[in-house]
Structure formats: C-alpha cells, structure tokens
Amino acid sequence: MGAQCDLCGRRKSIGYALIRRGLAKRKGGVGQHISGRSKREFKPNLQSARVIVNGTVRRLRICTRCLRSGKVTKVVSRTSAPRPQPTGQTA
C-alpha cells in the first residue's frame, strides 16, 4: 500500500512550485511575475499509530487530520507497576 491514510484515503496531490521574479507592489515595485513552474507533490502528514478498530488493536497509518478530529481511539500504552516515590519527597 502506498502513502495513503488508512481511514480517509487521503494521499499525495500534485501541484506546482512557482518561481517568481520582480519586486512586490507593496515594496514599491511593479509587481511579481511568474517566470516558471515545476511539478511537485503535496504529501499528507501520515503517522503510524496503534488504534482500536472493531475491538481489536491494529497499527494503522493515519493522517494527522483524522487523529486530531477523533475518528480513531488510540491505545493507551501499558505500563508496569508504578514506580515507588523516593522517601522524604512528595509529588
């Protein structure tokens, strides 16, 4: 599987990188002009996360938009026994 979100299917999109020349009008020039453009890719911000899907824990590649919107429930990592506090100090 390629660089694609496992939930929403978001993947790379194609656009252009624009090359401009000239001084901007707000800086006293006659304005900027596009003198060239080349193809580029806009890639989604994919993160690998352990999530709960249908009651089972799975590792998925999810875009940060899905993570932030709460479309998945992340698994709370298990920890061993709690660490004892050093004597004489309080938290």
Task: Return the higher-pLDDT residue of 76 and 25.
Answer: 25
DSSP codes, 6-75: TTT--B-EEEEEEEEES--GGGTSS--EEEEEEEEEE---EEEEEEEETTEEEEEEEEHHHHHHTSSEEP
Computed from CA positions of residues 57, 59, 64, 65, in that sequence, does the dihedral angle turn out positive or negative? Answer: negative
Is pLDDT of 42 > 80? yes
Domains of the chain: residue spans and CATH: 13-74 (2.30.170)
Q: What's the whole-number mean pLDDT along residues 59-68? A: 94
pTM greater than 0.75: no
Q: For position 89, what pLDDT does the model report?
A: 65
